[in-house]
């Protein structure tokens, strides 16, 4: 996508002004930076003290990530504490020791799950994730997903200057404004590490965007012939991890989110404004507002609700949720419904797939095409549809193109009845597929409860317009 710059505005000078103002807003105060540094030091000291008290085999504790390098956004500050143990420690003992040390230093600890359990709690007013891992010596041979972290920390710390830190913050907020900052499975966006690597590669947000506005998808930033192996077919961006060339840093990024950034790059460079660095809240629609939109548009929304599996971590659950959404949408498309949009919502008990279709019902009559007369299969077609017991509304007859046709009554006409009939066959993901298909509930939006969890999903359906464009 391209946009047109205002010829009366010096866009470079305006971008300088906009980015300087945004950088001042985003920069943590000296007091906050000093406080974070104190907390990092004290947190490590307390963990090491707890490790000695229980004779724990802890090799090293460190705070890494944006809190360690000062590249954090003040409203998204989390302290990541890594507890590294010997590489030959059994995983069960790793979990036991990691959780024990986390509980020794964190207030209100809550057990979370990723590759293995970790703790989220608070320490002197800061939210902290205490994550166990292995103290490996070769980052290209990690034993767990977090084992490369100390190497990432050292690699970036040796290269980042105050100017780079400024540009990293600007880039994070720019992506956050678009809703694509974060590598978790729910977001499918840019990780903080990927942002820092991109800024180091291009030198600044603006130079990154100047390159991005012309990117084809997929984008290949790895050196020719040195791409990480086993790239998926739908890869969006390829950038080798400098501490492990076999790893693609951008694995989590979706093509949809990369495409949005490419479009936004052109729009920003042509018309820079401070609003690009504001926090943008997601659009929310109540059920009543959504029903008014449907009346205006003449369309229909159906909600497919599934039991939410217990104790399945988000990074495992969200890919299955997207798979379920695709399965329902493809089922409707095969049934000749025009699917205008599909999104999802989750609450404590249920997973909801929300779809907008052009029409609530299919035509009552279905035209079934047959072969032309004169070939062997024509006899089979006539035997099936011309007999006394055949349930036809019209035919068989010869169509204008010379082939046989027959008209029958549809069994399922509504969106809801089509999905209900397909429930036993839907490929929803191993954790989302209930043993009893009747637990998959299918309702028109007007027949659902006004659930808070649906508000953002309905906002996504009815507010798809590019976020930087003025409202209609």
Cα(57)–Cα(136) distance, integer angstroms:
14
Domain at 30-143: CATH code:
3.30.460.10
- What are the extents of the domains in the chain? 11-27+159-277, 30-143, 287-361+413-462, 365-409
Confidence of residue 363 (pLDDT cuts 50, 70, 90): very high
Domain 287-361+413-462 - what CATH class? alpha beta
Is the predicted pLDDT of residue 227 greater than 80, yes or no? yes
pLDDT digits (tens, 9 = 90+) for 8-60: 568 999 999 999 999 999 999 999 999 999 999 999 999 999 999 999 999 99
Domain at 11-27+159-277: CATH code:
1.10.1410.30
Task: Quote the Cα angle for 225-230-234, to 5°.
Answer: 100
Count of alpha carbons within 13 angstroms of residue 314, beta-carbon side: 11
Confidence of residue 217 (pLDDT cuts 50, 70, 90): very high
Q: For residue 265, give the H/E element and its range.
A: helix 255-270
Please state, for a pLDDT cut of 90, what percent of the chain lies above it.
82
Judging by DSSP bridges, how do beta strands 126-134 and 117-123 pair with one another? antiparallel
pTM for the structure as a whole: 0.89
Per CATH, 11-27+159-277 and 30-143 having the same topology is answered: no
Mean pLDDT (the chain) is 93
Confidence of residue 1 (pLDDT cuts 50, 70, 90): very low
Is the predicted pLDDT of residue 352 greater than 70, yes or no? yes
Please state, for a pLDDT cut of 70, what percent of the chain lies above it.
98
DSSP 189-248: -B-HHHHHHHHHHHSSHHHHHHHHTT--SSEE-SPTT-PPSS--TT--EE-EETTEEEEE
Is the predicted pLDDT of residue 177 greater than 60, yes or no? yes
Cα(108)–Cα(157) distance, integer angstroms:
31
Is the predicted pLDDT of residue 3 greater than 60, yes or no? no
Is the predicted pLDDT of residue 124 greater than 70, yes or no? yes
pLDDT digits (tens, 9 = 90+) for 251-274: 999 999 999 999 999 999 999 999
Is the predicted pLDDT of residue 377 greater than 90, yes or no? no
């Amino acid at each position: 996508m391209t946009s047109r710059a205002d010829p009366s505005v010096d866009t470079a000078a305006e971008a300088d002004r906009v980015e300087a103002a945004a950088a001042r807003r985003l920069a943590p105060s000296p007091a906050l930076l000093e406080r974070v540094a104190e907390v990092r030091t004290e947190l490590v000291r307390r963990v090491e003290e707890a490790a000695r008290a229980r004779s724990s085999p802890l090799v090293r504790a460190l705070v890494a990530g944006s809190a360690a390098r000062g590249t954090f956004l003040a409203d998204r500050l989390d302290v990541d504490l890594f507890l590294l143990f010997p590489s030959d420690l059994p995983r069960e003992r790793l979990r036991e020791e990691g959780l024990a040390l986390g509980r020794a230093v964190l207030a209100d600890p809550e057990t979370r799950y990723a590759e293995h359990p970790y703790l989220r709690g608070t320490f002197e007013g800061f939210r902290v994730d205490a994550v166990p891992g292995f103290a490996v010596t070769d980052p290209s041979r990690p034993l767990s997903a977090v084992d490369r972290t100390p190497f990432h920390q050292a690699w970036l710390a040796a290269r980042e200057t105050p100017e780079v830190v400024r540009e990293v913050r600007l880039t994070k907020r720019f992506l956050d404004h678009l809703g694509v900052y974060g590598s978790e499975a729910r977001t499918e966006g840019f990780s903080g590490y990927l942002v820092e690597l991109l800024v180091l590669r291009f030198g600044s947000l603006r130079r990154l965007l100047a390159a991005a506005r012309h990117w084809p998808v997929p984008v290949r930033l790895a050196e020719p012939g040195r791409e990480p192996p086993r790239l998926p077919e739908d890869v969006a961006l390829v950038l080798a991890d400098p501490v492990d060339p076999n790893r693609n840093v951008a694995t989590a990024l979706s093509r949809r989110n990369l495409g949005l950034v490419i479009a936004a790059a052109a729009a920003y460079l042509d018309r820079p404004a401070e609003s690009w660095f504001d926090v943008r809240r997601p659009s929310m629609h109540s059920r009543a507002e959504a029903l008014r939109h449907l009346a205006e548009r003449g369309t229909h929304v159906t909600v497919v609700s599934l039991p939410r599996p217990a104790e399945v971590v988000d990074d495992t659950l969200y890919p299955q949720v997207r798979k379920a959404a695709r399965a329902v949408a493809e089922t409707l498309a095969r049934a000749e419904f025009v699917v205008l949009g599909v999104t999802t919502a989750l609450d404590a008990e249920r997973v909801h797939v929300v779809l907008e279709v052009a029409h609530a019902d299919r035509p009552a009559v279905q035209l079934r095409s047959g072969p032309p007369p004169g070939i062997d299969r024509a006899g089979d077609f006539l035997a099936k549809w011309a007999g006394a017991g055949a349930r036809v509304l019209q035919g068989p007859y010869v169509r204008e193109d010379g082939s046989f046709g027959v008209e029958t009554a549809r069994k399922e006409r509504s969106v809801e009845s089509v999905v209900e009939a397909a429930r036993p066959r839907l490929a929803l993901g191993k954790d989302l597929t209930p043993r009893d298909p009747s637990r998959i509930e299918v309702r028109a939006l007007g027949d659902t409860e006004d659930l808070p969890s649906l508000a953002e999903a309905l906002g996504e359906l009815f507010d798809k317009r590019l976020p930087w464009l003025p409202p209609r």
